[in-house]
């Protein structure tokens, strides 16, 4: 049987892992892609992308490379420290558009719908104005319950802010996910010594992200769809 399978071009392989997406959410993602895949390039320039991101003091996500000699793999300077349950993190909210970076804010642990509306009121419009967009923008947000809450919906309706109808379970469609990864990479190891210092590290690294990176991420939107 094994020989027959090989002759047919079939080979035993370890199944790839992907986050589970329910059939109804797969359908919503497909409908979103069909709806927006033919949007002109000028449309994507009007979108302000947003997200909340967690930055950890000791992150196990990023693979680090070192230059070392044979037999020195376990020297302390060649090791990436890991911990089982983490030693602290900070939560940040940020936004950006094709024209530049918006605000990035430390949001703390008490993250409620009312706090989200307050943050949007204080930072969304100033971020748009800084980019020269003023009120001519479409706002993208995720499907967090705070984003979809009644108080948040009322706020955006009262301010006449058009929302991008975002499909569930779609972080791969949001370019700000890659921007957060770039931000995490720019945070110096020396800034991860303790939580108090680390709270300001993302703010400092945010301003170092080049405009070429920002524009490249926005340009990737059609390909993501």
Q: In which band, very low, low, confident or very high, does the pLDDT at 207 lie, cut at 50, 70 and 90?
A: confident
pLDDT of 187 above 60 = yes
49: phi then psi, degrees, rounded to nearest 5 = -95, 140
Tokens matching residue 36? 């927006």
Which position has the token pair 């047919």?
Answer: 8
Tokens matching residue 34? 């069909």
pLDDT value of residue 54: 81
Cβ-contact 176, 50 below 8 angstroms: yes
Tokens matching residue 41? 């390039």
> DSSP letters along 13-73, please?
-PPPP-----HHHHHHHHHHHHHHTT--HHHHHTEEEEEEEEEESS-SSS-------TT-T
pLDDT of 87 above 90 = no
- Pick 172 or 185 by higher pLDDT: 172
State whether residue 85 is helix, strand or coil: coil
pLDDT tens digit sequence for 96-138:
999 999 999 888 777 899 999 999 999 999 999 988 888 889 9
pLDDT of 198 above 80 = no
Q: How many CA atoms lie within 13 A of 113 on its CB side?
A: 14
pTM across the whole model:
0.81
How is the beta sheet containing 100-106 ordered, strand by strand? 100-106, 89-97, 47-56, 138-139
Domains of the chain in sequence order: 26-224 (3.30.420.10)
State whether residue 91 is helix, strand or coil: strand
pLDDT tens digit sequence for 52-86:
988 777 654 556 778 888 989 888 888 776 655 55
pLDDT value of residue 61: 56
Q: How far is CA 10 from CA 4, 13, 15, 217, in A?
A: 9, 9, 14, 37
pLDDT tens digit sequence for 18-38:
888 899 999 999 999 999 999
pLDDT tens digit sequence for 146-173:
999 999 999 999 999 999 999 999 989 9
pLDDT tens digit sequence for 35-60:
999 999 899 999 999 999 887 776 54
Long-range contacts of 80-86 (CB under 8 A, 24+ apart): 82/58, 83/58, 86/56, 86/57, 86/58
């Amino acid at each position: 049987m094994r020989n027959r399978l090989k002759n047919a071009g079939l080979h035993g392989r370890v199944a790839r892992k992907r986050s589970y997406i329910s059939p109804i959410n797969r359908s919503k993602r497909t409908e979103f892609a069909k709806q927006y895949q033919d949007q002109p390039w000028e449309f994507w320039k009007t979108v302000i992308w947003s997200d909340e991101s967690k930055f950890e003091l000791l992150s196990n996500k990023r693979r680090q490379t070192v230059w070392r000699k044979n037999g020195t793999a376990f020297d302390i300077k060649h090791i990436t420290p890991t911990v089982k349950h983490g030693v602290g993190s900070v939560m940040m909210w940020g936004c950006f558009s094709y024209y530049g970076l918006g605000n990035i804010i430390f949001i703390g642990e008490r993250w409620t719908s009312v706090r989200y509306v307050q943050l949007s009121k204080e930072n969304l419009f100033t971020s748009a104005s800084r980019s020269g967009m003023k009120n001519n923008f479409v706002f993208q947000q995720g499907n967090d319950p705070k984003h979809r809450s009644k108080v948040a919906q009322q706020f955006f309706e009262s301010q006449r802010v058009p929302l991008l109808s975002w499909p569930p379970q779609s972080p791969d469609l949001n370019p700000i996910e890659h921007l957060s990864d770039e931000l995490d990479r720019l945070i110096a190891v020396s800034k991860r010594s303790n939580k108090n210092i680390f709270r300001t590290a993302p703010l400092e690294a945010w301003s170092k992200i080049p405009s070429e990176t920002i524009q490249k991420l926005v340009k990737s939107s059609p390909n993501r769809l």
